[in-house]
């Protein structure tokens, strides 16, 4: 059972599996690094340790970002969105954030770019 503060837990909106979305953003630059899943326990661990902890849907277990890869996320802030269904982790990322080895999970497939103002 999670020890997540009741005031926070009451505001969270979880999916059928008890999970909610977590977005990791680079501190200082605003670069979006990755998206993962959390449950109450993962959020509690993140808030108390300042190390990004997520829930793996495929392995059905908790994982601390960087624990095996060395590509850790030191958490500066955690914010809850207005709907209560997503948290934003503002982090200092060490090395690659993406499991493919790239800096961010969003640097490979650009589906639409800003138009040239000319």
DSSP assignment of the chain: -----HHHHHH----TTS-EEEEEEETTT--EEEEEEE-HHHHHHHHHHSB-EEEETTTTEEEETTTTTS--EEEEEEEE-TTSSEEEEEEEE-S--STTSSS-TTSS-----PPP--
Domains and CATH numbers, the chain: 6-93 (3.10.20.810)
Asked if residue 35 lies in contact with residue 49, where contact means CB atoms within 8 angstroms, the answer is no
Give the pLDDT mean for 10-23. 98
pTM for this predicted structure: 0.92
Query: Tell me: the pLDDT tens digits for 65-96?
Result: 999 999 999 999 999 999 999 999 999 999 99
Task: Supply the mean pLDDT for the chain.
Answer: 95
Give the C-alpha separation, 97 to 65, whole Å: 8
Q: Which two tokens stand for residue 12?
A: 């969270």
Distance CA 59, CA 65 (A): 14
CB 92 within 8 A of CB 72: no
């Amino acid at each position: 059972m999670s020890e997540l503060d009741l005031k926070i837990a009451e505001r969270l909106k979880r999916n059928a599996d008890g999970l909610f979305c977590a977005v990791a953003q680079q501190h200082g630059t605003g670069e979006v690094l990755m998206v993962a899943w959390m449950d109450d326990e993962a959020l509690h661990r993140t808030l108390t340790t300042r190390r990004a902890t997520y829930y793996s849907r495929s392995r059905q277990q908790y994982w601390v970002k960087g624990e095996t890869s060395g590509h850790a996320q030191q958490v500066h802030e955690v914010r809850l969105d207005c709907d209560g269904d997503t948290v934003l982790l503002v982090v200092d990322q060490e090395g690659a954030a993406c499991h493919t080895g790239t800096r961010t999970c969003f640097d490979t497939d650009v589906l639409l770019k800003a138009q040239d103002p000319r």
